[in-house]
Structure 1
């Protein structure tokens, strides 16, 4: 684990987001480089907002392949920042899209929204 004691703001934000994600884990994944971690986090927020809108639209339109693709992208972005619980939910939606089970994907979307909004909130305070 990295030493975050030198940055009081980072210490305050070093609380679990959703079972697995924390700012400290993100920074550690990037060899302690807070500047790069902030860039990665900002890119995650920006890209994930669009992907989430596309996922919602794909579910509403009944486009299983688009559900699969967008959930896959969210899963990868979440895994890149260490938001494992978010990545797991996105993986479940990806599988549902692959299996043409849009009703399951639709039931999982509220959980995905809650998890992603929680990650966004923590990152917003840090960015």
Structure 2
């Protein structure tokens, strides 16, 4: 009995350690996915408000709303700001370019990022 326990103890310890590693890895993936979804959702909300503010019948307050939503989106990108977009730019840089400077190329990269993350329906 003692030999069986001695033989099983390292195996059980290894199982516990590997289970902990895989669960923390999947926990990290879940956190990343949640952050991506939150960011892409906020990006879509900003795009919708911005597009509405550009219409002929838009009220001046629409621009203020779009500006406020851009600020929220820029706060939402903080945990993801260093994500690479594959062209030497980060998600944070492209977000600032799109929302602060109206850069359509940067905005296209953001939409592509969201599509690659599986959240293409949240953006325009």
Q: TM-score, normalised by structure 1?
A: 0.49
| TM-aligned CA deviation for residue 48 of structure 1 | 2.2
Structure 2: distance between partners of 1:86 and 1:68: 16
- In structure 1, the residue matched to 2:54 is 59
- In structure 1, stretches of 5+ residues that fail to align are 1-31, 94-107
SS of the residue corresponding to residue 77 of structure 2 reads helix
Give the superposed CA RMSD: 2.6
Q: Which has the larger radius of gyration?
A: 2
Residues 1:121 and 2:115 aligned together: yes
Structure 2: distance between partners of 1:76 and 1:90: 14
1:1-127 alignment runs, 5 A limit: 33-60=28-55, 61=58, 62=60, 63-82=62-81, 83-90=91-98, 92-93=100-101, 108=102, 110-124=104-118
Report 1 or 2 for greater relative contact order, CA contacts < 8 Å, sequence distance ≥ 6: 1
| TM-aligned CA deviation for residue 46 of structure 1 | 2.4
- In structure 2, stretches of 5+ residues that fail to align are 1-26, 82-90, 120-124
Structure 2: distance between partners of 1:92 and 1:51: 12
How many residue pairs get aligned? The number is 80
Q: TM-score, normalised by structure 2?
A: 0.50
Structure 1: distance between partners of 2:70 and 2:34: 22
| TM-aligned CA deviation for residue 117 of structure 1 | 0.9
